[in-house]
Amino acid sequence: MICTDKADHEPLRKANREAHLAYLNETGCVTYAGPFLDNGTMTGSLVIIEAADKAAAEDWAANDPYALAGLFAKVRVEEWKKVIG
């Protein structure tokens, strides 16, 4: 998933960060995750999960506390094939 934050997002991101991190850790499907940065300011998220199919990944993304709080201006859910690593 490639998520882009809405403008003036920082207070909303900070208010929901703890719940977001708990969701990433508790769901058991996250392989990699981290924020995109612009001069040290978080501006979005990259999250790589293992899911049964795209519908399951979209459901997971929709239930992320950041998404539920309305943080993201845009979310792309893409199928990805690991080639190296």
pTM, to two decimals: 0.90
Q: What is the pLDDT along the chain (85 residues), one digit of tens a residue?
A: 999 999 999 999 999 999 999 999 999 999 999 999 999 999 999 999 999 999 999 999 999 999 999 999 999 999 998 899 8
What pLDDT is attached to residue 85? 80
Alpha-helical (H) ranges within 27-82 are 54-62, 65-68
In CATH terms, is domain 2-76 a member of 2.160.20.70?
no
Complete edge-to-edge strand list for the sheet that includes strand 72-76:
30-38, 41-49, 2-5, 72-76
